[in-house]
Structure 1
C-alpha cells in the first residue's frame, strides 16, 4: 500500500505534482480538491461531489485530511472563542478566535507548549512537547473557520509556542495560507509574534511573503527583561533592537511591540522614558496590554498607571494604544493559553 498523502502539508506546487505524477490525474484535479478543502472547508473526501465515485474511493486510501479534533469550545462574555484541539498523536493545543467589529482574527499555536518559560505566561509553565507541522497550523485556521461558518480575516502566530523556534514550518504554513489557489489570505493579514528570537527576525526580513512582525518587549532594559523573559539571556535586548533595525531597513515595515503592564514591575514612569530612548529611530507601534491573571506573583497595573505610561510614550513620540482585553474570563487572553492533558 502506498504511503498516504497528508493534504494540509502540501504546497500548491506539490498538489500539482502529486495529482499528475503520483495519481496520474489531470492537474485541474488539484484545483478542485483544494477548493473543497480551503474554500468550502470540506474534509470528507466522499463529500467532494465533483470528483467521480471511483476517484473518491481511491483517494480515501491515498489522501489524509487531518484538521485538529475539537475537544472543547468556550465563549467569553465579549464573544471571544477559545478552542482546545487534539492532534492525531494525542497532543493538545489551544487557539483563539477574536471578533473585532468588521473583522476576525485567528490566534494560532506554532508549538505544543513552549520552551521559553517567561515568568508571566501560563503556556511555558505547562511544558513543551514538540513543534507543530505546517499542516497542523493551517488546520487550526480551517477548523476554526468551519466551526465559525465564515472565513477569518486575519491570522496571528501568537498562540502557544515561539514561532521562530519553528521557523521552517511556520513559513511553510504561511506559504500555504497565502497561495491564491489555496486559502488566498493576503500577506498583510498575517502576523508573526516573537519573544525576540533574533535569527527568526533576520530570516523574516528575507522571506518573500511580506507578513507583519510583532515583538514581545515587556521591558526596556537588559536586567528586567532577563528576569521576565529568560530568552533575553540568549538573545540580548541589544541584539534584538539591532535585528529590528535591520528588519526595518530591509522591509520598510513598521514593527508592533507588545508590552504587558505589570504592577510596579515594568510600569514605572522612568521605564517609559527608557523605552523611548531604546527605540529611537525605529518605526514602532506599542500595544500596552493589561497583565492577564496567570500567577499570584504579579498583579495587573492599575488603569491610572497604564494611562500615565501611555501618556509619557505619546509625549516622546512613540505611538501606542492601551489594548482592550478580550477572553480573559475564559483564560484565552495574552499569556493564558496552556497545554492541557486529556481529562484536564
Structure 2
C-alpha cells in the first residue's frame, strides 16, 4: 500500500514566525470580516510579500478551509502562488523607481474595470506602496474611500511614513517584525545551509529570514568583500576615486544590500575604535561581537602602517568612533530610503566624504 499523499503546503505556512500577524488576519478571514484595505509593513525580508499572497490565496480559494486561509491545493490557490490568477492583480515598484500616476491608474483599472473572472473576489496587491508619487497616492485614495464590491486592496511597504496619512487611516495596519536570530539560523540549517554560514547570515540579517537567505548564498560573500574593500580603501582614496565609486554604487541594482553591509561595517568600526561610553546602550555593541568579521580579517592581512589603521582598538579621541556610529545610522537610513530616491548619487557622495573624514580622525587619534 502506497504512502499517503502529503497535504499541499499553504502559503501562510511558509511564513516563518509572525504568529501575531497570522492570528489577527486569520481571525478576520474566518469571521468573514477582513477589511477592504490591508496595509502590511515591516523591514525587508520578514515575509510581507508572502503574507500578502497568502491573504490573496485565502480570498480567492475555491474551497472552504477551516483555518480561513487558502487550502493551497485547489486551482485558484495554485494560480495565486504562481502569479497567474486572473483576479489577483500584482504591481511592484522596481528597485530605485517611483510609481507614477499613469502606472497606478492602469493597475487600479485592471482590478476594478471588469467583473471577477471566476465570479468571486478581486485582489489588488501593491508592493512598495510608499514609492508611489503623491499624485499616484491621491488617485489610489479614491479607490480606498469608495471600495468596489468584492475588492480587497493589499498595500505592502517597508516605510508606512511614506504613505499619505489619509491612505494609512483607511487601511487596517498590520506590522511584521524581526525574529530571534537563533530561529532564523535554525530555519536556514533546515534549508540545507551549513551551520557556520547559517549562524553568520542570521546574525547579519538582524532576524530577517529573507535577508538571511540572500546572505547565505555565495554571491553575498562577494558583496561583503566588495564593501569591505571600499571601506578600507576610503582611508586613502582620492576625490576622483571617491566620486567614481559613488557613481558606480548609485547605479548598482544591489545598492540597498551594499548600504546595509556598509552600515554593519561602520557599527563594527565603532566597536573597534570607540571608548565604552560611545557604545554604551547599544545592545549589539555590548557583547562586542563583530557583525562583519571580514573587516578585521582584511585589515590584519594588510602590511605596513596604513592611514587610519586600527591598532589597540581604543584611540584617545572618541570623535572617530562617534563619527562611525553616526555614519552607520546614516547608511542604514539611506538603505531603507533607496527606493524612494530619484537618484542617491549626492547622498552617496556626502556619505563617502564623511567616511573618509572619519578615517582621518581615527588616524589622528592613533598617532597623537
TM-score w.r.t. structure 2 length?
Answer: 0.28
Q: Which has the higher strand share?
A: 1
Q: Which has the higher helix share?
A: 2
TM-score w.r.t. structure 1 length?
Answer: 0.29
Higher Rg: 2
